[in-house]
Amino acid sequence: MRWMFAVIMLLGAAVGSLGPAAPARAERSILAEFRFGSIDGGEMGFADWAGRPVLLANTASLCGYTWQYAQLQALFDAYGPRGLVVVAIPSNSFNQELGSDREVRDFCQLNYGLDLPITTVTPVRGPDAHPFYAWLREETGFVPRWNFNKVLIGRDGSVLGTWGSAERPTGRAITAAVEAALAEAPRS
């Protein structure tokens, strides 16, 4: 009976020692599969940003929070040189986006001078949600409730934080989370 207890304890220790590392690898490999259409043509995705923290915001050009584009750009300008990727994901999920990718691109460049990565117009909720947002819902229960919701993904692919529309991109909550994410050592 003692030998059985010893075997169970050894198996438990072995499984426990594998536990924390396995999910991070699984999250990275799942995230690496998610690709977005780029508003400038082609595709982009987490595989391109491997080892870097990524802040994603679902955006809309005709929303009352559209002023946050300027803060997303400011965040990208301030932290991009240190490794942060900021991605705007225009979405018509709340019926407040312009009619075409070209209109969105022109609006963002003319009104806000954005040079951060911008995806094509992408659904972020419901049955047609982009696979990243479906994964996010399954993993964390987070679903954008409106435009300009933000999600911070860490270097290891873990979800470090989610924020609603009212949270300013350059506010203390997000900048503190970004600084902590950047302070983590990059994986080799």
Domain boundaries, the chain: 36-183
Report pLDDT digits (tens) over 26-75.
Answer: 455 689 999 999 999 999 999 999 999 999 999 999 999 999 999 999 99
Average confidence (pLDDT) over 77-104: 98
Cβ–Cβ < 8 Å for 134, 33: no
Which pLDDT belongs to residue 185? 80
Closest CA to 171 of 55, 81, 91: 55
Gap between the Cα atoms of 70 and 119, Å rounded? 17
Tokens, residue 27: 């999250």
Question: Pairing state of beta strands 85-90 and 54-59?
Answer: parallel
Catalytic residue among 44, 63, 118, 181: 63
108 given a catalytic annotation: no
Which pLDDT belongs to residue 30? 84
Q: What is the largest CA-CA distance in the chain?
A: 75
Report pLDDT digits (tens) over 92-137.
Answer: 999 999 999 999 999 999 999 999 999 999 999 999 999 999 999 9
Which pLDDT belongs to residue 187? 66
Contacts of 68 (CB under 8 A, 6+ apart): 57, 59, 148, 168, 169
Closest CA to 112 of 74, 83, 149: 74
CATH superfamily of domain region 36-183: Glutaredoxin (3.40.30.10)
Q: What is the pTM of this model?
A: 0.84
Residue 151's SS3 state is strand
By residue count, the chain amounts to 188
DSSP notation for 27-89: HHHHHHH-EEEBTTSSEEETTTTTTS-EEEEEE-TTSTTTTHHHHHHHHHHHHGGGT-EEEEE
Look up tokens 């020692």; give the residue.
17
